[in-house]
A and B are shown apart, each in its own frame.
Chain A
């Protein structure tokens, strides 16, 4: 097949010119359009503020007092409160697709690497409540390619932006604590319509979710649902609550008080993640 050299009114030469012009015009057009968009009515900064009733902290932390959690009746209400308030779908037919924000694990599973057959039997069977540790140095945030999961500057909560998540599940690989769940299918058929919380959205298939320390409740001046439930259980039993919530950087907070009095452990601290969930026995 022969090939005509370029020049002298050759079709291919005109086609190239045309493509160059078309490409440039498109770029300018798109660029111009985007520029025009920026001068539309944006919201003024003065129109936005936070709720004055909101709970604030420099670094939120949770202490799980295991002396208060002995049997399911002690902690199940905390889990149920969390899952109900956030429309977490109930256990579906397939355990592989389980979604959980808070759940109990025994010692060897909560603290793998620390197991010992001569450990006190009582400790071996304790129901350690597991949730996202809201690490100070979270690997999940480090790996997220869209900042869909990010660490809140104001109070250290590791947040989820469900609108931005592309469902790549890198954060799930990155989390050393197995705190995250993925929506492998539409969760709505597995949410009980009669008990759903109509003030909080559900999620859709294809995004990752986890405990977000009830940021939406903190914004209204309420404590996390699990903490509130733990308080109710404590009142009924006449003891102090099993979940203590507060500002780790406030020397006068409840969490600092209990941490200064009792020995505490965190999960896999040697990884440098700086977990904010402490367990006291």
Chain B
């Protein structure tokens, strides 16, 4: 083909660029996420009270949107109390409600986030809870 050399080199560079994210992430991307909920704070609670703000399914799907809405409600509207579907009241706060129970960011939040390759910037400002080394 005309300009065959340039084309082949171009294709090789292109393939290299396309697969580079996979090469660079390596293990992190392939390990199945295994978020742990056995933090000291959760273990302190009796088994039947170990419920999150909403159901596990709901939180899995909607926690991103919920946190965004909480953020706007607290910061922009000055409203701080959230009544979950089960009737229980919570203070809307990532740092003072969510991570009070889920105090293990690296074994909980990061598990799925690393797998999905997302880096939410919450922790640039919101203080990461101190994790106990297990």
Contacts and interface: CB of A to CB of B under 8 A. Distances in A.
B69 A162 contact: no
A194 interface: no
A50 B81 contact: yes
A201 B83 contact: no
B83 A49 contact: yes
A198 B71 CA distance: 18
Contacts of A117: none
Contacts of A152: 78
Interface residues on B, range: 20 to 34
Interface stretch (B3-11, B31-39, B42-50, B121-129): B121-129
A201 B126 contact: yes
Contacts of A49: 79, 81, 83
A239 interface: no
Interface string B98-134: 0000000000000000000000010011110100000
B96 interface: yes
Given A41-B62, A50-B81, A161 B96 contact: no
A46 B89 CA distance: 12
B125 A215 contact: no
Contact of A203 (B66, B73, B75, B125): B125
B125 A50 contact: no
Interface in A40-76: 40-43, 46-51, 54
B96 A42 contact: no
B79 A48 contact: yes
B80 A42 contact: no
A198 B82 CA distance: 21
Given A201-B127, A202-B125, A161 B76 contact: yes
Contact of B125 (A40, A154, A162, A198): A162
A54 B79 CA distance: 10
Given A201-B125, A201-B127, A203-B125, A48 B81 contact: yes
B84 interface: yes
A49 B80 CA distance: 6
B98 to A, nearest CB: 13
Nearest to B94: A201
A50 B127 CA distance: 24
B65 interface: yes
B75 A48 contact: no
Contacts of B66: 43
Contacts of B121: 204
B81 A204 contact: no
A161 B75 contact: yes
B95 A199 contact: yes
A198 B95 CA distance: 8
B62 A40 contact: yes
B124 A204 contact: yes
A48 to B, nearest CB: 5
A159 B62 contact: no
A48 B74 CA distance: 10
Given A40-B65, A42-B69, A47-B83, A202 B127 contact: yes
Nearest to B125: A201
A154 B92 CA distance: 19
Interface of B: 58, 62, 65-66, 69, 71, 73-76, 78-85, 91-92, 95-96, 121, 124-127, 129
7 contacts: A50-B78, A51-B91, A152-B78, A161-B75, A198-B127, A215-B78, A219-B78
Given A51-B81, A200-B95, 11 more contacts: A43-B82, A48-B82, A49-B83, A51-B80, A51-B91, A154-B78, A159-B75, A161-B75, A163-B75, A201-B127, A203-B125
Q: 9 closest A-B pairs (Cβ-Cβ)?
A: A204-B124, A201-B125, A201-B126, A47-B83, A50-B79, A51-B80, A219-B80, A49-B81, A161-B75
